[in-house]
Structure 1
Amino acid sequence: MGVIRWSAAILLASGVVTLFLGLAFQLRVVVVPILVALLITALIVPLDRLLRRLGLRRGWAAGISATLLVAVVAAVVWVMVQLLTDAAADLGSTLRDLVDRASRESGPLADAVRGAADSLSSLGSAAAGAAAQGAFTGISLAGQLVAGTVLTLTLVFFVLRDRERMVTAVQRWTPGGRGELAVRLSRRAWDSMAGFMRGTTIIAAIDAVFITVGLALLGVPQAAALGALVFVGAYIPFVGAFLSGTVAVLVALADQGVMLAVGALAVVVAVQLIEGTLLQPLVHSRTVFLHPAFVLLAVAAGASVGGLVGTLLAVPLTAAAVGIAAELRDLAADGGPDAGAHRAGPAASTGGTASASPAG
C-alpha cells in the first residue's frame, strides 16, 4: 500500500507540474516578464531600502532604483555590442591571414583550415539568405522584445513600490485561513532566490575582476569589455562561462595569435576552477547551495522547456523551490503547518525574516 500511495502521489505531482508548465508556456508573454521582474527586484531591493532609509518616499525610491537599473543594463549592452563588433572584424582578418597561409602550404592542417574557411563562407551565405527572408520576422521579434522589456521594467517599479501591500494581499486572499503559512513559504522562496542571485552577482563580479586583470597583464585588447562579458555570462551557469571564455580566447587569437590565445585560455580556466572549488561553496553556502550536478540538470531542463529564457530562469527558480521544500520540512519538524503559521505571525509583525523578503 505504501508503494501505491507514493506512486499515486508522484503521478499526481507530475501531472500538476506538467499542467503548470504548459499553462505557463501558453502565457509566456506575461509569465516571463513577471519572473524576470522578480529576479531583478531581488537584486536591486537593497538599493530601494537604502533610498527609503535616506528619507525618499516609496515611489521615488522605486523610480530611482529602476532608472539606475536601466542605465546599468544599457551601458553593459553597449559595451558588449562594441566588443563583439570589434572582435568580429579582428577575427575575420586573422582567419583570412590563416587561409592565405594555408593556401600556400600543403598537409592535413592546411586542408582543415581551407575546409573550415569554405564552411564558414557557405554558412555566411546561408545566414544572409535566411536573414533576408526573415526580415519581417526579425522586426516582429524586436517589437516583442521591446514590449516585454517595458512590461518587465514597469513590473519592477510596482513590485519595489508596493511589495508590502502584496504581502498583505497574500495574507488576506489565501483561502482556508492559511495566509500566514502562504507568506512564510513565499518569504522562504524569496530569501532563497534573492540570496542565490546576490551570491551569483558577487561571484560574477569576482570572476570579471580576475579575468580582466589576467587579460590586461597578457596584453589582450579590450580586457575591460571582456570582463563585462564574463560578468553577464555568469548568470547563465556553465553555458555563459563557456561562451564568454570562448570570446576572450578568440579576441586574443585575433590580436596576437595562438600563444596569446593559449594564455587567455589558461587565465579563463584558472578563474573558473577557483570559482567552482572555492567561491561557489563559500558564497552560496550562506544562502542556498545547489550541487553542481543539480544546477546542470536544472539548466538542461530549463533549456528544453524555454530555450534561452528557460536557461536564465531555471537555476533561480530551482533555488526558490529548494527553499520552499526546506521550509515545508521545517514545518513538519515543528509539528505541522499550524505551528509554522503560528510562529510566522510574530516574525511578520516584527520584521524577523522580512529583511530579505519582498516586504522588506
Structure 2
Amino acid sequence: MSGTAKNGTSVEPRPTRGRMLDEDIPYGVRVAAEWAWRVGIILITGGVLIWLLSKVSFLLIPLLLAALFTALLNPVVAWLSRRRLPRGIAVAITMLGLIAVVVLTLIFVGRQATAGFKELWGQALEGVKQVQQWLQDGPLQITTDQLDKYLSQLTGSLQNQSSAILTGALSVGSGAGHIAAGLLLTLFILIFFLLEGRQIWAFLTKLAPRKARPALDGAGRKAWTSVGSYVRIQVFVAAVDAIGIGAGAAIIGVPLALPLGLAVFLGSFIPVVGALVTGAVAVLLALVANGLVNAVIMLAIVLVVQQLESHVLQPLVMGKAVSLHPVGVILAVAAGSFLAGIPGALFAVPVLAALNSAIRFIAARGWETDVVPATPELPLADGETETQEEQPINSKEAISDDH
C-alpha cells in the first residue's frame, strides 16, 4: 500500500524481491521460459504415452490395422446396405469376399513364385559355378582343396552354433504364432468395427464431460474422414506402382514379375522406404536373372514409376486428400520406423493425418460454427436408414445424453 511522507507527498511501496527479479529478466527470456515448460510437459507426456502403448503393441497393431481396413471396406458395406441387405449380411459378404480375394491372390502368386524360383535356381547354380571358377582363375588363386577346406570349416562352425540357430528358429516360430494371432484378432475387431462402429464411437464420446462432447465428436469425424481418404488414395497409388513396375518387369523378361508386383503393392503402403526397398529388389532380381543391361533397364522403369508417384500422384492426389506436406510425411515415416520399426512406418502417415485434422478442428473451434456431416465411413446403427446418414448433423446436437 502507498503511504504518505512527513512533507505530505505520497511514497510508492518498496518493490518486493520477486517483482525486481521479474523486471530484471528480459521479456523474450520470460516468453521462452513459458513456452519451454509447456513444450516440455507435452514432450514428456507424449513420451510416456508412446512407452505405455509400446507395452500393448500386440493389441494396438491389430486395432490400427482393423481401423484402416474399416475405412477401406465401409463403402462396400454401405453399397450392399443400399441394396436392401441387412447390415449383418452385408458385413458377412464383405468379409468373405476379402478373405477369398486374399487367399486366391496368395495361391496364384505362390504358384508363380514357385515356377519362377525353379528357373532362378538353375541360374543361381550357374552363378555359383562362375564364382567358383573366378576364385580359382582370378587374383585370389584359391584351389579346389582350399575351397573344400573353407566349406568344411563353415560347416563345422554351423554345427557348433546349432543351439543358437535352434533358438533363433524357435523365436521365428514364436513370431509366426504371434502374427497368426494378430491376424485373427484383426479380423475379429474388423467385423465389429464394420457392424457397430457408430455405436462404439458414441459410447466412447459419452465418456467425456458433456461440454467436451461436441469438440470430441467433431474432431473424431474429421480425423476419420482423413484416414478414409488416405487409405483409398494409398490403395490407388500402390496399384499404380505395382502395375507400372510389374508390367515393366514382365515386358523385359524379368522372372517373378507377378510376385514382384505384389511386393511393390504392399511395400507402397510404407511411404518412401517401401518404394526404395521394392525398387532395389526389382533391380537386383533383373541383375541376377538377365544381366547388367536388363538391370539398367529395370532401374530406369523403377525410377520413372517413382517419379510419377513423387511428382504427380503424391502432390496432386495424396496431398489434397490428407493435407500433409511431403517433408512432414518423410519425418513421420522416419520417426515411426525409429520408434516402432515397420509397424511404425506403416501407421505413421495415417496417424499424422488424423491428428492434423483433429487438431485443426479443435484449434479453430469448429464445433461452434461447423455443421459436421455424418460420414459414410461410420457404420449405421441398427434401425437407422441411409437417408439419416446422408443428412448433416450439427456436432453440438450429435451427442445427446440419451442413448
Distance (Å, rounded) in 2 between the aligned partners of 1:3 and 1:126: 60
> Which residue type is aligned with residue 341 of structure 1?
W
**2:248–2:301 Cα contact (<8 Å) kept:** yes
- 1:142 paired to 2:173: no
Q: How far off its partner does 1:95 sit?
A: 3.5
Q: CA deviation at 1:166?
A: 2.1
Give the alignment partner of residue 86 of structure 2, picking from 42, 57, 60. Answer: 57
Please identify which structure carries the higher helix content.
Answer: 1
Could you say what secondary structure the match of 1:355 adopts?
coil
In the alignment, which of 106, 124, 136 is matched to residue 138 of structure 2? 106
Displacement of 1:37: 0.9
Q: 1:325 to 1:77 in 2, by over 3 A?
A: farther
2:339 to 302, 305, 322: 305
Residue 94 of structure 1: CA displacement? 5.4
Shift of 1:159: 0.3
Whether the aligned pair in 2 keeps the contact of 1:303 and 1:311 (CA below 8 Å) is yes
**8 Å contact from structure 2 (residues 246, 258) kept in 1:** yes
Give the TM-score of the pair, scaled to structure 1: 0.84
> 1:354 maps to which residue?
375
1:133/1:267 CA distance change after superposition, 3 Å: same
Paired with 1:203 and 1:312, the residues of 2 have a C-alpha distance of 15
Residues 1:287 and 2:321 aligned together: yes
Aligned with residue 258 of structure 1, among 292, 311, 314 = 292
- Quote how far apart the aligned CAs of 1:19 are: 1.4
**1:30 maps onto 2:64 in alignment:** no
Partner of 2:261: 227
Equivalent-residue separation in structure 1 for 2:125 and 2:323 (angstroms): 44
Q: Distance in 1 between matches of 2:314 and 2:126?
A: 37
Alignment match of 2:305 (pick from 248, 271, 279):
271
CA offsets 1:89-125 (integer angstroms, 9 cap, x no match):
36633541441452354359x9xxxxxxx99x979x8
RMSD: 2.9
Of the structure 1 ranges 322-331 and 15-24, higher mean CA displacement relative to structure 2 is found in 322-331
Distance 1:204 1:184, change over 3 A: same
Mapped partners of 1:46, 1:227: distance in 2: 26
Structure 1 or 2, whichever has the larger Rg, is 2
Q: Residues 1-360 of structure 1: matches in 2 within 5 Å?
A: 1-78=30-107, 86-87=116-117, 89=121, 92-93=124-125, 95-103=127-135, 105-106=137-138, 129=162, 130-331=164-365, 340-343=366-369, 347=372, 352-357=373-378
List alignment gaps of at least 5 residues for structure 2: 1-29, 143-149, 381-388, 390-403
The residue number in structure 2 matching 1:336 is: none
Count of residue correspondences: 338
Q: Distance in 2 between matches of 1:91 and 1:268?
A: 23
What residue identity is the alignment partner of 1:240? Answer: G
SS of corresponding position for 1:286: helix
Q: Is the 8 A contact 1:80 1:229 kept in 2?
A: no
Asked whether the equivalents of residues 94 and 254 of structure 1 are also in contact (C-alpha less than 8 Å), the reply is: no
CA distance in 2, matches of 1:325, 1:82: 48
The amino acid across from 1:155 in the alignment is I
1:151 is displaced (CA, Å) by 0.6
Identity %: 31
Aligned residue for 1:55, secondary structure, equals coil
Classify the secondary structure of the residue corresponding to 1:33: helix
User: 1:8/1:195 Cα in 2 relative to 1: closer, same or farther (>3 Å)?
Assistant: same
Query: TM-score w.r.t. structure 2 length?
Result: 0.75
Q: CA deviation at 1:276?
A: 0.4
Q: Structure 2 CA distance, aligned partners of 1:147 and 1:55?
A: 35
The equivalent of 2:17 in structure 1 is none
